[in-house]
Structure formats: structure tokens, C-alpha cells
Amino acid sequence: MKNTATLLITCPDSRGIVAAIADFLLQHNANILHADQHQDAENNLFLMRVEWDLAGFNVDAAHFDQAFSPIATKFNMQWQLKLSQHKTRVAIMVSQYDHCLADLLHRHKSGELACEIPLVISNHRDTEDLVKFYGIDFQYIEVSKDNKPQAEAAQFKLFDDHKIDLIVLARYMQILSPDFVARYPQRIINIHHSFLPAFIGARPYHRAFERGVKLIGATSHYVTEVLDEGPIIEQGIDRISHRDQVEDLIQKGRDLERVVLSKAVNWHIENRILLYANKTVIFD
């Protein structure tokens, strides 16, 4: 397992930012492994991701804030420090469709997703055997219009008990309450089975078929209070023809959903995403 630190920075664009960060890391004996940056001229923003090896680095995490504060203050930075030794703890929420869940569990088991998945929550029991096969805690919580506050309260307790960092909606067919979303800002990733902003909401494949589109897609995005309008992380498309029926669209779409969601989760746990203005920057 690698032992690195990643610094994510957002601040007003100005000269000298890269030099100041590089000099700071050099002074503290850091070996930079990756560095990437993006300037948004329209919003006068500078965004950066820099990752370095912690072997020999002479500032520990507890004192990093104090050491880095002069630079952060000078350039008016918003910043986050992430350590690779802390594995993101992921909870997956699912309803009845299991294709995205199965894909995430397999990728995690094979080591492709460097995170921990201690919990799966569902409002149906269809995926219980699959989850238990992987040795993961499965919790069934029924959700209806009459018990939604109580159901979400039970979910919140499970997230707290399992110290969850990220929630993944792997075809969880429930709309989250504003309170739910507010509790976990930029910590909920959803997969929507269309190429947003087209066909938001329910039954997008059926609506795409009725519209006669020639391309279908899938979109992973962070969840906000506005349905299907959170910052987009990844999208994928596939071409269809007049010969394809709704069932064909659904099958092709499921393949897209698996790939698009797994990429989004992987980029999040590798600390490659910065958000601004309802957009994402995905660093290589």
C-alpha cells in the first residue's frame, strides 16, 4: 500500500502559486509524485492537485495546518489534505437492480477500488445473498411515504456506526430528503440512467425510446437537493438504432452504468475531484 499525501487546492488565480507550493514541499523534504492544475479564466480560479511520498516528509498531519497556513492565507486558499493510509469507507445503497452493486463489489474484492465497503443498505431484500457472499453487512430498511423520516434516521445511525465517508447510490430508487443531502455534502454519488441533462427523473430509457434518440447514456454525479442536477463526474454513451427496443436500451444502458459509476467512485476515493460552480475538475 502506498503511503502518500494529496493536497487539493482552490483559490483565486494569481502568479506564484505553483512556485510557493513546490518550494514548501521541497523545504519539508517531499518527493512529488504527481502534480496537475487547472485555471478557469472566466471565474478567475486556480485549482490544483499535488501528491507526494510521505517517506522523509518532515511535517506530520497534525501539524500540517500550522505549517501550510502562511501560504494558504497569502493566496486565499481553500484546501484539503488527504492521506492514502486512510481508506475511504463507502456505504452502498441499492433497491432491486443489482448490476452496479455487483460490479462495485467485484472491483473492490479484486483490489481495483482501494476503499472499504463495510455496509450495504437496501429497501428490498433482492440483493441480500449477493452482499453476504462478499462478507459485507446487509441492512434492509423499508421505505415508504409514511415512514421516510424514520427510515432515513435509521440509515443515518448506520452511517455513523460504520464511520462512513462516502455514500454510493447504486440504482437506489428513492429520492433523498433535503435533510439527507445536507448531512453529506459532496459525499453522495448517484448513477442516473441517462445522458444528463436529457431525461431526468424516472423511466429515462422508455422516454428515450419514445423520443427516437440515436444515443443513450449514463451519468454519475454528486447528489444535491435538485433532482439529477448535481455536479457531473463522468458520462458514457452508446449508439442505438431503430432496431433496438426498450429492452435493448436497458441492457446497453446497464453496461454503461457499471463503468460510469465505478469510475466516479474510484476518482473520488483517489482524491482526484474538485468542485466549483456546479462543475467538477477531474485530475489525471
Supply the residues annotated as catalytic: 228
Closest C-alpha to 163, from 86, 264, 61, 220: 86
The answer to whether residues 137 and 118 touch, using CB atoms and an 8 Å cutoff, is: yes
Q: How far apart are the first and last CA of the chain?
A: 20
212 phi, psi to nearest 5 deg: 75, 35
The rounded Cα 53 to chain-centroid distance in angstroms is: 24
125 phi, psi to nearest 5 deg: -100, 5
Cα gap 118→138, rounded to integer Å: 9
The rounded Cα 190 to chain-centroid distance in angstroms is: 8
